[in-house]
Amino acid sequence: MSNYIIKPMQTESEMDGKGHVHYQSYQEAYAGLMDAEYLSSMSEEKCKEIAHKWLENLLVAKDGEKVIGFVGYGKYHDDTLSDCGEVFCIYVLADYYGKKVGYELMNAAFEKLKEYKRIALWVLKGNERAIRFYERYGFCFDGKEETIQLGTPNTELRMIFEKE
């Protein structure tokens, strides 16, 4: 177990920190995977604004007072999957890759989603680092894909974790 704290996002400082992580990790994870113009339109201010509006079902990882990652979770977003939770997003600053922060965030989200028999998430096609992380955690592709507009069309792939 690390020295990181995983907790519900509550304070202004944590909201701003979550916004910073959202912005920074978008730049780190998606450069070359999505439209550069779209990526540059995701300003830190816009990400902080989003953080101040989305307060429910969001956990932050902190190293001391610094927010270094976050996870959003809840009931699956539509009726195509029954009895299914969803990890809507999980981001960790690149400086903390390989330090179990993502793993701890996922564990915390799973604890919040414990009433569901399975958990789904969507990953951007080509995001190999994230795909490897999800596969190591136990997620598998279920063959479902969607095209989303991120400046240009991008493909998202659905992954499912089936609880025993």
Query: Token pair of 80, please?
Result: 């195509």
pLDDT of res. 78: 87
Distance from C-alpha of 46 to C-alpha of 83, rounded to nearest angstrom: 33
| Domain span holding position 74 | 5-162
Strands (E) across 84-139 are located at: 84-92, 118-124
| Number of domains into which the chain is organized | 1
- Of 135, 61, 63, 59, the C-alpha closest to 92 is 61
143 by Cβ neighbours in 10 Å (0-12 / 13-18 / 19+) ranks as exposed
Q: pLDDT, tens digit, for every residue of 44-94?
A: 999 999 999 988 999 999 999 999 999 999 999 888 898 899 999 999 999
Q: Confirm if 146 and 156 have CB atoms less than 8 A apart.
A: yes
**pLDDT tens digits, residue range 6-41?**
999 999 999 999 999 999 999 999 988 999 899 989
φ/ψ (deg, to 5) at 103: -60, -45
CATH code for position 125: 3.40.630.30
Residue 41, SS3 per DSSP: helix
